[in-house]
Amino acid sequence: MATSPPLLCLTITTLLVILNQCIAGVNTATTIPPKIGKGYRLISIEESPDGGLVGHLQVKQKNSIYGPDIPLLQLYVKHETEDRLRVHITDAEKQRWEVPYNLLPREQPPPLKQSIGRLRKNPVAQSEYSSSELIFSYKSDPFGFAVKRKSNGETLFDSSSDGSDPYGDLVFKDQYLEISTKLPKEASLYGLGENTQPHGIKLYPNDPYTLYTTDVSAINLNTDLYGSHPVYMDLRNVGGQASSHAVLLLNSNGMDVVYRGDSLTYKVIGGVFDFYFFAGPSPLAVVDQYTALIGRPAPMPYWALGFHQCRWGYHNLSVVEDVVENYKKAKIPLDVIWNDDDHMDFHKDFTLNPISYPREKLLAFLDKIHSQGMKYIVLIDPGISVNSTYGVYQRGIANDVFIKYEGKPYLAQVWPGAVNFPDYLNPKTVDWWVDEIKRFHELVPVNGLWIDMNEASNFCSGLCTIPKGKQCPTGTGPGWICCLDCKNITTSRWDDPPYKINASGLQVPIGFKTIATSAVHYNGVLEYDAHSLYGFSETIATHIALQGLEGKRPFILTRSTFVGSGHYAAHWTGDNKATWDDLKYSISTVLNFGIFGVPMVGSDICGFYPAPTEELCNRWIELGAFYPFSRDHANFYSPRQELYQWESVAESARNALGMRYKLLPYLYTLNYEAHMSGAPIARPLFFSFPNLIEVYGLSTQFLLGSSVMVSPVLEEGKSEVKVLFPPGTWYSLFDMTQAIVSKEAHYWTLDAPLHVINVHLYQNTILPMQQGGLVSKEARTTPFSLIVTFQAGAKEGEAKGNLYLDDDELPEMKLGNGYSSYVDFYSSVSDGTVKVWSDVEESKFALENGWTIERVTVLGLEGFGGKFALEVDGIPVVDTSKVEISATEQKFPQELEDGGDKKKSMMVDVTGLELPVGKKFKISWKMGSSG
């Protein structure tokens, strides 16, 4: 749901704030701020009982820029694993705010020493401290530290400063922390989000990177949006060999990150420096190590990988019923129907509008769609309507669950009018929230929850009261106009900190259109510190509630995210615009979230507002059918844009979603891999081709898993697309007789008429597919086929793939519980013989479900012929009379044929098989001659 028009205009007050900062030379794009202070010196360092290092740093020269320096700091360094190093710096004498350890579980640093004494000797003799992968080194005066890769000595992070650097030494004040690192020019950086990046997935020097969760429409470029992920991946290529690592600054306070190309500077308005370094060296290893710390991605139910339809403005239940029926008539797959806030009684959470969504009729509708395997999801916002007749609010007040300002629940405005915000850092609030979701589920058996507006969004700013003598909201005009009586809060240093981050891309006050930053959470925690955790803490509470309902796997979609959100929820990229640019930008945001450990991510297909053109909607569903999370969603004020509204879009949807539903076994297996190792579902090409510099900035194509490449049309009026093919053989998934062979990274221009998206499968892969269907439950019961790919004209080669199957209702996604099976597929070409075989773990579940493989298609063979043999569980199958083998010669682009490199390559189809997925099989045949 949108909250307000794009934040592209400012109040006079805000403009004056910026003008004053410009005059002062503070943090503007055109000035380089003066260096602050002389840093710290190391006065002691010793080994800690847990095998780490503990040191103390003393400020060298005090100054008052952005407030007084903290005189004494505690340094804690530990190799927590062989490939993860932690560097933690905080006030040595006083506890400071950190991301709560109960929200994001991790090791605790040692307690602060009561007395530092005058220890000036260094019991640790060496200035290097190493694990098997990373080396930590330091210099004492001024203090700086470096992290190096042990294998080649490469410096990954170096906080030391000299006179020629545009940044200074370590700064540590109560409300301003600064630290920098040198970077080699060849480093390619990714991450530091959430923002809409016009230059693509690579970080772009001198673009602003501000981290502070904000309800600003995603159409605003280079702006801090709904999530805060202070992590970046660094990919370097030296002599053709790539290595990558990641750096996380675990800090929830607002920050600007200044990336200059050869350096990066953090400017943070509170908290501590809590750095984690992940050694990689491959991009997949980096994400594995990162999610091992922050939490593995949540397992998704199978149906969540189907197609979803939503709209803000389904005014009554009959409209929703029509939408479902029209999808069926148009033969477009649909798994989940959503309601924005239209089902609510006057926008109040956990209610039903008795007139437009009468409970009895809604329950009958849900019985009907549930029987067909479809699901239903609704929206809830965190703002609870201040209404003495509203049970949710009454129970909230009785349990004292709301964020406070000067001892009273903080008053804000969202869709229902005046609201209070639950404080999810309070255990009592979590209990109350769990109970409210349980009550709502008894009212309406929803299949998941969509938590929106949780940055938190507020239509007003400052300290507000409910106006006397006038209705608020008025019930007419845009609902996002503030109608409370409000006054600015500028008296405290929390509302008006000395350093102004570039909030909302416009340096607005940090309490602008959100909770006042001097408001107070449980245990005296300030909103100033906890602001960017709000959506994350709500996500955890919602996950606890859903998991406790029926013992089923929860599905949550959240707008605001933080480090670790992917452990609980999926995400969409927020309020985008129906433009060709937004279509293109969506790819970078989706790929970034995979790096952030949130692999289940997508963008509003066809754009949230205003009206998409028919051509744009065609191209968007072709791309959106391959987002990990695939949902069409539109604005209240936009015309209808369900995929059946245009026959041309319906045709594109049937083609693209038809392929998605055939690929569901593959997508679900990727979901399992994400849950086990953090591996993104949608990935930049450099994940599979890290040595290929040409793909480092590629933001117009992406991979699903390691080997399915999606290359959409992203420009108006185009019927062809320029595609970069990494070296090797690529087969068109829509027409497997078509192949592209690249000897080196090469752009090919491919036909892409209106209803066509180019999707290619890489060599040496075995891809499990099913026959598709209009609902994933139905598609899941169809027979399997295996697509096996070799390099074109292969005489020798190996291919592999895998398949994970389980009862997707179960909360846990794992092997060994009796409700899951895992199959490894292998194939080889050698000595004129083709073999395809499987190895099965936990066969029981697959056998009970009766899944079979009816077809094996092998691509890239030099020829075929000769004797066919089949065995199941080691026993030869004598009667293979139903099995048919056919071959088709594959086609290559004209340019390749003209170049004299024409390959003789065959597609061999083996049909009529009835191989139980739960049993090991082996098929083989002599390749023979292709002539």
Residues labelled catalytic: 452, 455, 575
Distance CA 383, CA 839 (A): 52
Task: Compute how many other C-beta atoms are within 10 angstroms of the C-beta atom of residue 631.
Answer: 21
* DSSP conformational letter for 111: P
- Residue 37 · residue 63 · CB < 8 Å: yes
Give residue for tokens 């509470």: 541
Burial class, 118, CB count within 10 angstroms (exposed 0-12 / middle 13-18 / buried 19+): exposed
- Residue 304 · residue 813 · CB < 8 Å: no
Distance CA 13, CA 6 (A): 19
Distance CA 523, CA 529 (A): 13
**Among candidates 440, 365, 429, which has minimal Cα distance to 396?**
429
Q: Count CA within 13 A, CB hemisphere, residue 594.
A: 29
- Residue 750 · residue 697 · CB < 8 Å: no
- Residue 320 · residue 337 · CB < 8 Å: yes
Distance CA 64, CA 551 (A): 56
Kindly state the tokens that stand for 127.
């200035």
Kindly state the tokens that stand for 721.
């697309």
Residue length of the chain: 931
Distance CA 720, CA 909 (A): 30
Distance CA 567, CA 296 (A): 5
Give residue for tokens 């640790």: 124
- Amino acid occupying residue 461: S
- Residue 132 · residue 118 · CB < 8 Å: no
Rg (CA), the chain: 29
* Residue-wise burial string across 143-153, b where 16 or more C-beta atoms lie within 10 A, e elsewhere: bbbbbbbeeee
Kindly state the tokens that stand for 242.
């790539």
User: Does an H or E element contain 284, and which?
Assistant: helix 283-294
* Residue-wise burial string across 738-775, b where 16 or more C-beta atoms lie within 10 A, e elsewhere: bbbbbeebbebebebebbbbbbbbbbbbbbbbbbbbbb
Long-range contacts of 150-155 (CB under 8 A, 24+ apart): 151/281, 152/238, 152/243, 154/236, 154/238, 154/243, 155/182
Q: Which residues contact 11 (CB under 8 A, 6 or more apart)?
A: none
Considering Cα of 340, then 301, then 282, then 127, what sign does the dihedral take? positive
* DSSP conformational letter for 389: T
User: Does an H or E element contain 586, and which?
Assistant: helix 580-595
Cis-peptide into 142, omega within 30 deg: yes
Distance CA 717, CA 715 (A): 7
**Among candidates 39, 85, 53, 79, which has minimal Cα distance to 248?**
85
Kindly state the tokens that stand for 536.
């994350």
DSSP for 612-677, written as a single string: PPHHHHHHHHHHHTTSSSEEE---TTSPP--TTSSHHHHHHHHHHHHHHHHSHHHHHHHHHHHHHH
